Structure 1
Amino acid sequence: MTTVEDAYTHCAQVTREQARNFYYGIRLLPPDKRSALCAVYALARIIDDIGDDTAQPAEAKLAGLAGVRTSLGDLSESTDPVYVAVADAARRYPIPLGAFDELLDGVEMDVTGREYVRFEDLVEYCRCVAGSVGRLCLGVFGSRPEPAAPTYADELGIALQQTNILRDIREDLGNGRVYLPKEELNRFGVELSVGEDGSLADPGGGLTALIRESAARARDWYARGLRLVPSLDRRSAACATAMSGIYRTLLNRIDEQPSRVFDRRLSLSGREKAVVAVRALTGAGR
């Protein structure tokens, strides 16, 4: 039988190993909140991994996601350490478990190959796969009375996902996924393709211009989402600021030189992430 303590230990290990960016923020939380957020991350990781499993056909992925929905329907029946930890965290904090259903909806969009024609279509996807995570985090953070706090958390998650999309254009294209809205690709005259050298082709500079416009828009979403920070306690604010700070730094680098994402997956060094986290803890990164 899995004990709650063992369940949280397992989730913490998953988070340390796989949350390359988020863990720098999560570690700033006090132990109880850190454990709860690791449980949230571990379940979100399970859902994402099902959707990203290239060895499985779509039918198997959809069946796997349906299985997660079933398990979420009665957490008390599961002996899986992740579900045990999530069940305990949900008893201790007002975690909106329904947000996991939204995350599942978003991953199903990936599995079924949904196309995004307008930016509004993309926002719907981002709200499912990332805004949901923002609201789950808020359930652990807690906040001072602020009716708009869930909206701010949602907007911050959407900002982070827009950054992910710009960073991963090449990788996503290789996996048969295009998140940049068709209307915008057409407006900039972009036909996404990879050249013989393995990098994204941009013969007329349209992709560079599209990335820069998208980066400016994402920056506006960060400004909206970061309105959440003043309603959080100091450690939770530091966590949220560190998470967003790492992605905002990535966004700034993409904006400065879009070609950085043409042939690689841009990332920050461990030292750079640690600096962002320290600045967040001192309040300098807000």
Structure 2
Amino acid sequence: MGGGTTVPRGPEATPDPVGERLREAEAAENFPVAMRVLPARHRRRLRAVYDVVRVIDDIGDESRGDEGAGSPDSRVAALEDLRSDLHRPFPTTAVLRRLALTAPDLPLEPLDRLIDANVQDQRVAEYDTWQSLLHYCTLSADPIGRLVLAIFEVPEDPALLVDSDRVCTALQLLEHLQDVSEDRGRGRIYLPAEDRAAFGVSPTDLDAAVASPALRDLVRHETARAVELLDAGSAITGRLRGWARLAVGGYVSGGRAAADALRRVDGEVLGRAEEAAHSRKRDVLRHLPAVLLSRRTTPRSPTR
């Protein structure tokens, strides 16, 4: 699935000190809810991809672990070093060696896009328009879905990829809304400037202890837009079969749980309320049966 180059097979990885932190980070994510019941082969492949994605994000994020320390230029250099290693016949980075051993058939192009997204994070702190934010998501979010489909060896289909991209973009947008305060602390704003202006929200409003009425209105607005994308893309579950359907259904359910959390706090995503705005695993499980039982539909196209 995806571009022509594939992850090369390399020697088996030796244990590395990053592994324990990766497992701790994985435990906090929603996707293991569905992953636990998958066959071991699929779990290994998903985990190998997850570890690479997490390390890419760590390097690009100054607040996550030692890999992200330093200036934007040094982080860009580290990301490009990782990209070079990704394309070597025998990678030297532990997580890349594991990926090469566990999933040598996966395309590299989605991982290149994820690296591009993190490079862009070093140079772009906010987005002027909704469309520019969606374009960023084509780098930071959509590749995940394409890797997941490749893991389950789902045949390429243009309509399927469109739905996958919609779901992944929606998940990214909902995560940004849950992390408004955290992202602001890193110097990043993922609420488009044109929308902030329309709702009367200034950057300093994001530094407050509680969300202003205007910010809460904006969060509700952006949540509705993300849910529209999620609803449109959720038709993908009706086009998949077997374990792929379960895995992707887990992601869709995670998105629905994230939307539930944002609605539960009624747009209050700052201060102490920020933790309450995050998803609960029981909500993911609550949505999963309905998502898996949904039939193939053709919802109206969202604004994207």
Q: TM (normalized to structure 2)? A: 0.80
Change over 3 Å in CA distance of 1:117–1:100 after alignment to 2:
same
Q: What CA deviation, in whole Å up to 9, does each residue of 1:158-212 have, x standing for no partner?
A: 010010111011111111111111000000111133589x52441xx22111111
What is the number of equivalent residue pairs in this alignment? 276
Bigger shift: residues 182-191 or 12-21 = 12-21
Match status 1:68 vs 2:82: yes
Match status 1:166 vs 2:177: yes
| Superposition map of 1:1-286 within 5 A | 4=12, 16-19=23-26, 20=28, 21-54=30-63, 55-74=69-88, 76-91=89-104, 93=105, 95-143=106-154, 146-193=157-204, 199-202=209-212, 205-263=213-271, 264-265=274-275, 266-273=277-284, 275=286, 279=289, 283=292
**Does structure 2 retain, via aligned residues, the 8 Å contact 1:15–1:42?**
yes
Change over 3 Å in CA distance of 1:71–1:268 after alignment to 2:
same
Q: Which runs of 5+ in 1 are unaligned?
A: none
Counterpart residue number, 2:6: none
Change over 3 Å in CA distance of 1:114–1:145 after alignment to 2:
closer
SS at 1:261's partner residue?
Answer: coil
Q: C-alpha displacement at 1:3, in angstroms?
A: 5.8
Q: C-alpha displacement at 1:27, in angstroms?
A: 2.2
Bigger shift: residues 124-133 or 41-50 = 124-133
**Does structure 2 retain, via aligned residues, the 8 Å contact 1:143–1:231?**
no
CA distance in 1, matches of 2:103, 2:18: 15
CA distance in 2, matches of 1:269, 1:219: 17
**Does structure 2 retain, via aligned residues, the 8 Å contact 1:12–1:38?**
no
More helix as a share of residues: 1
**Does structure 1 retain, via aligned residues, the 8 Å contact 2:128–2:192?**
yes
CA distance in 1, matches of 2:25, 2:129: 32
Q: Which runs of 5+ in 2 are unaligned?
A: 1-9, 64-68, 296-304
CA distance in 2, matches of 1:229, 1:242: 10
What's the RMSD between the two structures over aligned residues? 2.8
Q: C-alpha displacement at 1:258, in angstroms?
A: 3.0
Amino acid at match of 1:26: M
Q: C-alpha displacement at 1:124, in angstroms?
A: 1.0
**Does structure 1 retain, via aligned residues, the 8 Å contact 2:163–2:232?**
yes
Amino acid at match of 1:18: A
Change over 3 Å in CA distance of 1:118–1:150 after alignment to 2:
same
CA distance in 1, matches of 2:189, 2:232: 26
Q: TM (normalized to structure 1)? A: 0.85
Amino acid at match of 1:50: I
**Does structure 2 retain, via aligned residues, the 8 Å contact 1:193–1:201?**
no
